[in-house]
Structure 1
């Protein structure tokens, strides 16, 4: 089953290696299978970054075109799904760089505020579960994704790459052309902002 919960189409190839070889021979049925087998999961990833269906579909189409061009040099050092995931994330980041950005709420409005003695200006709400559990929990996943979409784009992107797509800090920095220290700082602030957005829903449990 794919990440969307639906059955993958039956493969005519006995192994991934055979499928890759067929793709490298530019066989049409191999290309068709790749699209049918992986477009659903790639669209899920694209929607996390881009939100709008049309933008996500465009990014997936761009990703497949890139994959078809690059498949000849694919050496099988990673699973095909991992390789495609990397390509669709890059396509999403490219689209984010080129699209016209909407005005965003300053992230500072979502960060904790402190008074002169160093304490928070209001008591931090208590959660029935931890923040890390909330981000990964199936029960709260839809709520968390909804609140992630409310983050300013630059912070949302870092959080998606690190906490949802599970890239390392170094990989995230390379994808975004940022320093590792800048990624760590932005990720910390993104997590704080997300927690602020989730606080009203998690106070006393969800």
Structure 2
């Protein structure tokens, strides 16, 4: 059985799209030579973003730190195969996401609500069965407050895991459909369906808070 760190790196490919490699990152040569100081600098520079991504997926500080540690070990071993089609930072970010997803799969599943209960209901004529109040004009700007970010995060956490992960990777981590499908080991069509349903569910969860302005 491969080491978890090796599996983490092996599941992440660079996205070239036929494009030539990017200009070489000056950090690569010393890293490939095994320069310990260069590795420490890399950890300091990239750890924050990687840890934030792992936290969003795992919702647990200890698990997130373990995932990032595994990601760095995995990346160090995989550096000889890194071709530079994506930036080093982007490559590390994806390895951290994959490490977090792998750890998530090993955890005992928590009770989850059905996505069906979070979907909008429609009448036979196609109109909404439940009133849909427009969000206030200030909702978008208010969504930047720490209180509202916490509310959005809590709403995302209520989504069933398979839908939550797609939403996090596409809308929060800003991966494209193909990258998301690769990391979650599902086909791109499934990513699109789950993302659409996750967005509808999130809208329903947030409607009460945003309709007519935040309370």
Return the TM-score normalized by structure 1. Answer: 0.84
Separation in 2, partners of 1:80, 1:180 = 25
**How many pairs were matched up?**
190
Aligned partner of 1:115 in structure 2 is 123
How far apart are residue 118 of structure 1 and its match? 3.3
- Does the alignment pair 1:99 with 2:107? yes
Q: 1:117 to 1:18 in 2, by over 3 A?
A: closer
Per-residue displacement from partner, 1:80-124 (whole Å, max 9, x unpaired)?
211110110111111122221111011111111223443322111
- Does the alignment pair 1:164 with 2:133? no
Aligned partner of 1:70 in structure 2 is 78
Aligned partner of 1:12 in structure 2 is none
What stretches of structure 2 of length at least 5 have no aligned partner?
Answer: 1-22
Separation in 1, partners of 2:201, 2:25 = 44
Aligned partner of 1:56 in structure 2 is 64
Aligned partner of 1:6 in structure 2 is none
How far apart are residue 169 of structure 1 and its match? 1.3
How far apart are residue 76 of structure 1 and its match? 2.4
Per-residue displacement from partner, 1:145-180 (whole Å, max 9, x unpaired)?
221111111100000111111111122122212122
Cα RMSD (Å) of the superposition? Answer: 2.2
SS of alignment partner, residue 27 of structure 2: helix
Contact 1:16–1:80, Cα closer than 8 Å, also in 2: no
How far apart are residue 62 of structure 1 and its match? 0.9
After the TM superposition, which residues 7-22 of structure 1 pair with which residues of structure 2 at under 5 Å, given as runs? 17-22=25-30
Return the TM-score normalized by structure 2. Answer: 0.81
Aligned partner of 2:35 in structure 1 is 27
Separation in 2, partners of 1:37, 1:109 = 42
How far apart are residue 137 of structure 1 and its match? 4.8
After the TM superposition, which residues 183-194 of structure 1 pair with which residues of structure 2 at under 5 Å, given as runs? 183-194=191-202
Q: 2:144 aligns with which of 138, 148, 151?
A: 138
What stretches of structure 1 of length at least 5 have no aligned partner?
Answer: 1-14
Higher relative contact order, chain-length normalized (CA < 8 Å, sep 6+): 2
Q: 1:151 to 1:58 in 2, by over 3 A?
A: same
